[in-house]
Amino acid sequence: MTARYRSYALVGVAALALAIAALSVAVPSVSAGQPQGPHGSVVFISVYAHDTLYGSVVAPNSLPAKGHFDELYVFPGTSFTIVSDAAPGDRDYNGGRWHVNMVMGAAVQFTNAEDVLASGLTIVSTETYFSCSLLPR
């Protein structure tokens, strides 16, 4: 089954709100015991890629939608872990340059992008592009 994509062209405050919502749903809160950057700006997250769990450190940043990006799939309204279509060692890995997609209606945790795409769930492309590297756990 093919995933259905919807691309929303958002501008100004609406685009920023969607980007923040996509990442805040996907990125769990940092606990008091975890190291943080200034004003709690650095968040430690987990990401599945190819059925392997990676860690990552996300600091606030934004990239223009130019060049090559790998895809991240977030699951709004759930506590599911983010899924990536690429990881270090992949021939086409873009070094931690990401484009965020929201997967609507997920009821199970996915651990690879192939299963996300084959699920038939609606995938909403966002205007969120940023960088962070995946780290072995």
- Note the pLDDT tens digit of each residue in 63-93: 999 999 999 999 999 999 999 999 999 999 9
Indicate yes or no: pTM above 0.85. Answer: no
Asked if residue 102 has pLDDT above 70, the reply is yes
Nearest to 82 by CA among 19, 2, 25: 25
Asked if residue 27 has pLDDT above 80, the reply is no
Residues facing residue 134 across a β-bridge? 56
User: Which residues are within 8 A (CB) of 101 and not within 5 positions of it... i.e. 6 or more apart?
Assistant: 71, 72, 73, 74, 123, 124, 125, 126
Asked if residue 15 has pLDDT above 70, the reply is no
Percent of the chain at pLDDT above 70?
A: 70
- pLDDT greater at residue 18 or residue 110: 110
